[in-house]
Structure 1
Amino acid sequence: MEIGLVGLGSIGMAVANNLFRAGHIVCGWNRGKLPCSILRAAGGRVATNPEEVFDACEIVISALSDDSAVEEIFLGSGLLNRIPKDSVHVCMATISVRCASALERAHRERGHAYVSAPVLGNSTQAIAAKINIVAAGDPATLHRVTPILEAVCQKVWLFGAVAYHANVAKIATNFLLGSAVEALSEALALIQRNGLDAEEYMSLIGNTAFSAPAYRMYGDKIIHEAFIPSAFKLSLAARDLALFKSLANSSGLELPLADATMQRIEDAMAEGLSDHDLSALSYLSLRIR
């Protein structure tokens, strides 16, 4: 099957390569030219615009960066008025519930199918098809696209017929990640300041109450101050915490841990760490006062 891709960044190219390995043909488009050249060299077909991708492929996956990119390409350009009625759009972007709802509504009004399918994981995991995908939308469409998504991830987690529910799950998960890394940073700062071996402590918690992969991965980064290269930039964590806070406000919730975590991320960014890994939050806790 020929699968379309709109957006050939680190996640998009990883998805393309895994689709190739699964035996699919890929037709892709990207605003920048270099990713298009890489796709062509890998055996893919390069489209001149997103409309051409939809014309060539019944199922199109978009892997764009944020609300602004999604709105510009899909909602502000008139694209949805020009693509075939039976088009299926699978959006992998981390976007707000407001944007996801507008996108689903715009597709439905024009007779298209839409699935929200944000990614849990980073580009390294995406290359190895070890990301997780949270998907929601029309059940028949979900049934149709799930085998394709399974080719690029370790598991597809289905969250029902309301497309934006997948985005809520993604936003909540990234909040948990940010707050967990801040909590781990503070615990390790206390451990090290009092002369304990940090790696022994990580072994303790990793084999008892806190055996989650996030603790293992970020604990190692914190101990070795491996903040560059970044698996998940602080600037992206700030974006995701802002989405969480906005959704909490619109849901009538007061969630103080989100405020505290956001403040720590902003403080770290003020220290010039925006492009560093999320684990660089530990810099604030470990520095000498």
Structure 2
Amino acid sequence: MTDTVAVVGTGNMGAAMVARLRAHGRPVVVFNRSPDRAAAVAARTGAEVATSAREAAASAGVVLVSLADDAAVVAVYGDLVSGLRPGTVVVETSTVSPQTVRALAAPVRDAGAALLDGPVSGSVPVVERGELTVLVGGDAAALDTARPALDTFASTVLHLGPLGAGATMKLVVNGVVHALNQAVSEALVLAEKAGVDRHAAYGVFTSSAVAAPFVRYKQAAFEDPDGTPVAFRLDLVAKDLALLAELAAAHGARMDQADTNRRLVGEALAAGFADRDISAMAAFLRRSYDSA
């Protein structure tokens, strides 16, 4: 089996994975539906560029898929599956519904390949440090095949159960992340309104009991929102919260805080914040206060 890794989707996370794989000497072939993005990643990393998902899959022993949403994932698999070879392992790292992942299992299996859902927890800087957490559902033997590739950018790979378990836990974790983001946004803006300097207030957050990893690695984004690159857009936050609501409804779980966060993110999108970073919820709240 070839040691080439295919990366389908070269957005922020996919591109960072490619860089780590190449830094560890792995041959990588990339495909992106916007060819210019794939070409740019290839130019920076020395990866090869495929002209289709099918071509990328045909050259690889492990295929990592990193796309924005369920619709994009379903669309690309129609072509990707036709390039799979027996023994190939596909790791679906996108944040999608568990039902979407399970529905893709049959065509992948029919091609003689194996599908894992392996969404990741962490940001681009975490990928760059090789410290991602990968939440895996699916066959343990397939994970053994994929693990060397995953280990290039992840410090923790957790096998959580059958296919769909990884996708489920990613939505659960992101519910907590989005709750933290909203809580930090509200607390920071309140501190500012009450006369405490923004940087001083955030310094308290990172030195206190609330100093979760998320709070620490989003410090620059919260303190300097206009000077920090977008890492996780609010429109994707809205997508996650919608998927979380569907998951909760399917299992009869109350998600009162998540429902509130979803409403507030919707208000931010309506106010023009869709392409802003998750931390821009603080900027949205400042605007809300100023217009009140």
Alignment check: 8 A CA contact 1:92 1:118 kept: yes
Q: Distance in 1 between matches of 2:16 and 2:217?
A: 21
The amino acid across from 1:15 in the alignment is: M
Q: Do residues 106 (structure 1) and 107 (structure 2) align?
A: yes
Give the 3 Å change call, closer, same or farther, for CA 40–224 of structure 1 in structure 2: closer
- Quickly say closer, same or farther: Cα 1:252–1:38, change in 2 above 3 A: same
Structure 1 equivalent of residue 222 of structure 2: 222
Give the count of matched residue pairs: 286
- Residues 59, 83 of structure 1: alpha-carbon distance in 2 compared, 3 angstrom cutoff: same
Distance 1:190 1:7 in 2: 39
Which runs of 5 or more residues in structure 2 are unaligned?
A: none
Residue number in structure 2 paired with 1:44: 47
Other structure's SS at 1:229 match: coil
Is the Cα contact below 8 Å between 1:138 and 1:163 reproduced in 2?
yes
Query: Equivalent residues in 2 for 1:44-123 (5 A)?
Result: 44-74=47-77, 76-77=78-79, 79-80=80-81, 83-123=84-124
Which string of whole-angstrom CA distances, capped at 9 and with x for unpartnered residues, describes residues 207-251 of structure 1? 332121222344553344447531211111111111111111111
Residues 220 and 228, structure 2, Cα contact 8 Å, conserved in 1: no
Equivalent residue, structure 2, for 1:185: 185
1:134 lines up with 2:135 in the alignment: yes
CA contact (8 A) 1:228 1:277 kept: no
Q: Tell me how far 1:184 sits from its aligned partner.
A: 1.7
Name whichever of 28-37 and 194-203 sits farther off. 194-203
Within 1, Cα distance between the matches of 2:97 and 2:124? 21
The 8 Å contact of residues 2 and 24 in structure 1, kept in 2 or not, is answered as: yes
What's the CA shift for 1:278?
1.1
Amino acid at match of 2:215: Y
Corresponding residue for residue 8 of structure 2: 6
Structure 2 match to 1:157: 158
Asked if the contact 2:5/2:29 (under 8 Å) is kept, the reply is yes
The answer on whether the counterparts of 1:230 and 1:277 sit within 8 Å (CA) in structure 2 is yes
Measured at CA, do residues 254 and 37 of structure 1 come closer, stay the same or move farther in structure 2, by a change above 3 Å?
same
Note if contact 1:202-1:216 (Cα within 8 Å) is conserved in structure 2: no
Q: What secondary structure sits across from 2:272 in the alignment? A: coil
Contact 2:58 2:83 in 1 (8 A): no
1:95, distance to aligned residue in structure 2 (A): 1.0
The equivalent position to 1:25 in structure 2, one of 19, 24, 27, is 27
The Cα RMSD (Å) is 2.2
Residue 27 of structure 1 aligns to a residue in which SS? Answer: strand
**Alpha-carbon distance in 2 for matches of 1:229, 1:5:** 23
- The secondary structure found in structure 1 opposite 2:40 is helix
Larger displacement relative to structure 2 (210-219 or 266-275): 210-219
C-alpha displacement at 1:188, in angstroms?
A: 2.3
Contact in 1 for aligned 2:54/2:82 (Cα 8 Å): no
Any conservation in 1 of the 2:137–2:166 contact (CA below 8 Å)? yes
1:237 corresponds to 2:264: no
